[in-house]
Amino acid sequence: MLSRPDPVSEPAPLPAPREGNHLLDVSALWDDASQRYLGAKHAWLQAAGWRHTIVAPQGHGRGVVSCPSVPAPWSGGRRVVADAGRAQRLIERAEPDLIEVADAGVLGWAALAAARRLRVPVVACCLYELPTALGGWFGQHTRSGHLARWVERSTGAYLRRFYAHFDEVLAPSESTVRVLRGFGVSNVRLQSLGVDSALFTPRLREPAWRWQLERLIGAAPGSTLLLYAGRFEADKNLPLLVEAVRQLGPRCLLLAVGSGPLPPTGAQVRVLAPQPDHRLARLMANVDGFVHAGDRETFGLAVLEAMACGTPVITSGYGALPELAEGAGLVVRSRDPADWAAALATLLEDGAPQRWAAQGRTRAIARDWSVVMTEWEARYLTLLLQREGQTLPEFAAADQRALA
């Protein structure tokens, strides 16, 4: 369990939450990254004296309520909530003091309705760039740039109306903040995600474990192992990584951990099922590099986790990924596999891995959950006190202005 920041080096703390303050997280996603994020949040809030409940389609585990859902077509396993009334009753039954919503569909509207009935603050967290995702999907399947742009604009207008109902909208990266403000969402604020730097650590690097991994995947001793972890979807640009790895020669392999409708294929590709947190951390710590070519990421949690493991990272120069990797890893602003192959070769040059590993680890520690969740808690307390007609002390209000 994460410890709180050193009180000597941190600013004066906000007032402690009332005993039993109850946050309810409503999430449309229950994939591996969402579970790691919500699980870390759950552990930290409980340690800080909060009650925390998660409502999600197919959710499972302590403090999690599974919301009835149906399969989403062509999604490779995603599910969506179709019965808003039933979802609203589940949320109301939990009797939260504050609701946070990570969905802009049926589940999100159900949470808004529940918040109105319960008269509690409601926060939105934008973890998925819906306008560009939908626009890209329509453009890909209709080959019409005009239709893609129309879908993107229409979805942006929808989000502007949807997010206007929330007390606050949080986005995990500056790029997502800019996108939402570009669509007219005025109440959006930056709030980063974090990493468990005690779980994702270079201390997991073990030559004997690496040797066993090479035997398991059929790699020759001394092969170069590059890792991708996440969903297998079109916007992750996995074929680009496959071709870049092919150009580096047969002793370079791409390990792809995850699930989704478009898994990568090729002689130099090894696809692994989603891994529990501790196994994923060990895998990240024992590969030669972490690669992510996605161009619509709102944050890039797996990139930050790899940096925490001291593993060199190379990412796309689009979306939110440069905010994590610039100066602590390599950023490729190109969709040409030859450029990626050249960048990967640079990443693996003598001395480069150690340099990037140290810089990445430093950046990740600065975003440990113990730091990031203190910021989240400050926002929650502010909303709760405002709802009660109170204000924070002056020093805390100054901290809030800094957070905004």
DSSP state string for 42-99 = HHHHHHTT-EEEEEEET--STTEEEEP-EEPTTSSS-EE---HHHHHHHHHHH--SEE
Average pLDDT over residues 70-89: 84
> In whole angstroms, what separates CA 402 from the centre of its chain?
23
**Residue 240 and residue 354 in one domain:** yes
* pLDDT tier at 10, thresholds 50, 70, 90: very low
Q: How far apart are CA 241 and CA 27, in angstroms?
A: 30
**Residue 246 and residue 286 in one domain:** yes
Which has the closest alpha carbon to 177: 187, 162, 164, 166?
Answer: 187
- Residue 270 CA: distances (Å) to CA of 217, 238, 247, 376: 7, 12, 16, 38
Least trusted range by pLDDT, from 77-86, 230-239, 350-359? 350-359
**Residue 156 and residue 224 in one domain:** no
- Domain extent, residue 321, equals 202-365
Average pLDDT over residues 259-280: 95
Q: What is the CATH number of the domain that holds 140?
A: 3.40.50.2000
**Residue 57 and residue 73 in one domain:** yes
Q: What is the pLDDT of residue 395?
A: 33
| Token pair 């009334």: residue | 85
In a domain, 14, yes or no: no
**Residue 292 and residue 349 in one domain:** yes
**Residue 355 and residue 292 in one domain:** yes
Q: How many domains does the chain have?
A: 2
* pLDDT tier at 349, thresholds 50, 70, 90: confident
**Residue 189 and residue 232 in one domain:** no
**Residue 187 and residue 210 in one domain:** no
**Residue 214 and residue 74 in one domain:** no
In a domain, 1, yes or no: no
In a domain, 16, yes or no: no
Does residue 131 register a pLDDT over 90?
Answer: no
Does residue 26 register a pLDDT over 80?
Answer: yes
In a domain, 160, yes or no: yes
Q: Report percent pLDDT > 90 for the chain.
A: 72
In a domain, 261, yes or no: yes
Question: pLDDT tens across 209-232, in order?
Answer: 999 999 999 999 989 999 999 999
In a domain, 335, yes or no: yes
Does residue 238 register a pLDDT over 50?
Answer: yes
**Residue 302 and residue 208 in one domain:** yes
In a domain, 239, yes or no: yes
**Residue 98 and residue 174 in one domain:** yes
Does residue 188 register a pLDDT over 50?
Answer: yes
